[in-house]
Amino acid sequence: LTVSALQPARNSNAVARTAPIKVELSQPVASGTVRVQSLLRGGQLAGPVTRAGKILTFTPAQAYQPGERLLVTVPAGAQSTTGSGLANPHVYQLTTQVTPSTGLFARSSSVLVGPAGSTALPYAERVMTADIDGDGDQDMLVTNYTTGPGRVSVRLNDGTGAFAGGTELAVGNYPGILLLADLDNDGDLDLLVGRSAAADISVLLNAGNGTFGPGQNTSTNGIATLQLGDVDGDADLDLLVSRSNQTASVYLNNGAGSFSAGATVAGGTKMQAVGDLDNDGALDLLTDDPNAPGWGLLLRRGNGDGTFAATATAVALNSASSPLFGIDLADCDADGDLDLLLTTNLGLYAMRNTSTVGSLALSPEQLLAGSAGMRVASVADVEGDGDLDVITTNSQNSVGCYRNNGAGVFALGAGLASGSSLTALTTADVDGDGDLDLLTIGSLDRRASVWLNLNATPSQTVTARQPRRNALQAAPGGAVVVQFSQPLSATAAPMKGLSVARSQSRSAALPTAAVASGYELRATLANSFAPGEKVQVSLARVLAGGAAVLPAPQVYEFT
């Protein structure tokens, strides 16, 4: 008995949020099941599994989250009507549909993280979202540490993208890695923290309401990166650990959130990824190969039982000869297999998957133009057009997006957001409108920023300027006024998106809130213009507080 067809197809990028998951076997089925894991809401998802002819069908009891990656397992043991059994489990992934949007963002709020009253600035490592309290919206979790114990800040969402609360989970020193998953298969999301100082992992089980029990610690003898995946096909999530001593190990989950050491393989000092590269239903392992000339990767086929091939396929990186900061697997070109995205000190690289069943292979890496200095990358369908884009931060502390044309060709678009010392970002639908919003955080900033995806089309236009564009004899004063075709929200003060540069003064106040029936944006400066002074005004494409956006950024000047 074997798996012969999947619907939706494996690695699909736009699965309808209420779609059943169907697995067709080679013979009529008498027994068997399908398990689906969500990392954003509900963990191991509830829903009936029915049998009809050769097909097992899982019907979700709740809608999937927009843009989430679903992990699907068909465990071994299914039986056909003639008594044949499914000898090998089958594991694969799907990505859910996102509502179409502009793919442009307006900052809606900032959220304080770290212990209240602390004078020390936390060093923020990770920001993540998940529905930890079971109310259907995406909550925020941030790892940080101050001069005392490391903590995870938990901020609960009210369903509109507004976060509140002051829960600080003490998790031990240097909690650099944070993962959320249903580790004990009880239908809620638990917390897994990787602690470099203690060289261990700590599992905090969720009580179902967003509160967590004491940490259960497992020594890993070093830790660089962590990944979760069902490597033994038993429908729970196992842990893979890479270490600085050039080894990577599997820690098998017993189904109750406890991990025991399993197989260890060579390679992987800093980065790893797990996914089914050759579409055989078993998860494969990718690690960095620091012993390769320049730099390289090691690819190991999974056996489906929690072990990996003893011999790895070595892939030399000819251009990306620098340490890796990140590895991600996604079907970028919509051909049904998982491609590779690398984040390095030299930029972002894409590698197409050329594997066949039983043989792992990747095409040479291709540098994404203009990606030098980009350190953090996240893969998501920013516009809701059914393909996966790449969101990045750069050394100028701004967030950009490489838009995918659907065939795995990426082009860098306009900047999406900015911040101070940006170290982490993530995407999730935090306001419940079906598109993906953006959360960012800086290493020395006590606030996480929430940027909402704009649903409206770029319909905003400038209707008047005072002083007017290119004016040579502007009246003396200390204000710049811009009027728009669409109203601006007066609730966002101060407004963002208008800046003033002066040739004879560096001081300029931020714009005030929108006034004059909500169509006007006024910047009142700290002092009046000087005679003969040249003033340059810049308008961002996205104006915080407004529902509409400009077709393009604008710059004009007057004297």
Architecture of domain 3-96: Sandwich (2.60)
Q: What is the mean pLDDT of residues 25-32?
A: 97
Rounded CA separation 13/341 (Å): 16
Does residue 516 surpass a pLDDT of 60?
no
How many residues would you count in the chain?
559
Architecture of domain 462-558: Sandwich (2.60)
Q: Are 455 and 466 in contact (CB under 8 A)?
A: no
Tell the residue number behind the tokens 């790449």, with chain if given. Answer: 390
Q: Using a cut of 0.95, tell me whether the model's pTM lies above it.
A: no
Residue 432: the pLDDT is: 95
Classify the C-alpha dihedral 537-539-544-548 as positive or negative: positive
Residue 292: the pLDDT is: 73
User: How far is the first Cα of the chain from the last one, in angstroms, to the nearest whole number?
Assistant: 80
Residue 525: the pLDDT is: 74
The closest of 87, 88, 28, 70 to 52, measured between CA atoms, is: 28
Q: What is the DSSP string of 84-144?
A: -B--S-EEEEEEB--------EEEEEEEE-S-TT--SPPEEEEEEEEB-SSSSS-EEEEEE
Who's near 230: CB < 8 A, 6+ residues apart? 37, 71, 73, 89, 91, 236, 237, 238, 283
Residue range 318-354, pLDDT digits in tens: 775 567 788 899 999 999 999 999 988 788 999 999 9
Query: Using alpha carbons only, how large is the chain's radius of gyration in Å?
Result: 25
User: For the purposes of burial, counting CB atoms within 10 Å of the CB of 444, is it exposed (0-12), middle (13-18) or buried (19 or more)?
Assistant: exposed
CATH code 2.60.40.1220 region(s) in the chain: 3-96, 462-558
User: For the purposes of burial, counting CB atoms within 10 Å of the CB of 487, is it exposed (0-12), middle (13-18) or buried (19 or more)?
Assistant: middle
Residue 471: the pLDDT is: 86
**Among the listed ranges 236-240, 371-375, 383-387, which one has the minimum average pLDDT value?**
371-375
Does residue 194 surpass a pLDDT of 60?
yes
Query: What is the band of 493 on the pLDDT scale with cuts at 50, 70, 90?
Result: very low
Which token pair is 268?
């992987």
Q: What is the mean pLDDT of residues 406-430?
A: 86
Residue range 31-49, pLDDT digits in tens: 999 999 999 999 999 999 9
Residue range 204-235, pLDDT digits in tens: 999 999 999 998 888 888 888 899 999 999 99
Rounded CA separation 267/441 (Å): 31
Residue range 430-474, pLDDT digits in tens: 999 999 999 998 776 678 889 999 876 556 778 888 888 888 888
Residue 10: the pLDDT is: 97
Residue 356: the pLDDT is: 96
Query: What is the band of 177 on the pLDDT scale with cuts at 50, 70, 90?
Result: confident
Q: What is the mean pLDDT of residues 82-107?
A: 93
Residue 507: the pLDDT is: 45
The answer, yes or no, to whether the previous bond of 175 is cis (omega within 30 of 0) is no
Does residue 548 surpass a pLDDT of 70?
no
Query: What is the band of 82 on the pLDDT scale with cuts at 50, 70, 90?
Result: very high
Q: Which one is predicted more confidently, 381 or 552?
A: 381
Q: What is the mean pLDDT of residues 142-165?
A: 85
Query: What is the band of 119 on the pLDDT scale with cuts at 50, 70, 90?
Result: low
* Cβ neighbours, 10 Å, residue 13: 24
Q: Which one is predicted more confidently, 100 or 172?
A: 100
Q: Are 247 and 264 in contact (CB under 8 A)?
A: yes
Report, in this order, helix, strand and coil percent for the chain, each rounded to 5.
0, 45, 55
Rounded CA separation 316/318 (Å): 6
Does residue 486 surpass a pLDDT of 90?
no
Tell the residue number behind the tokens 């800086």, with chain if given. Answer: 442
Rounded CA separation 189/175 (Å): 18
Tell the residue number behind the tokens 């910047």, with chain if given. Answer: 523
Query: What is the band of 122 on the pLDDT scale with cuts at 50, 70, 90?
Result: low
What region, left, alpha or beta, does residue 551 occupy, with left being phi > 0 and alpha being psi -120 to 50 degrees?
A: alpha
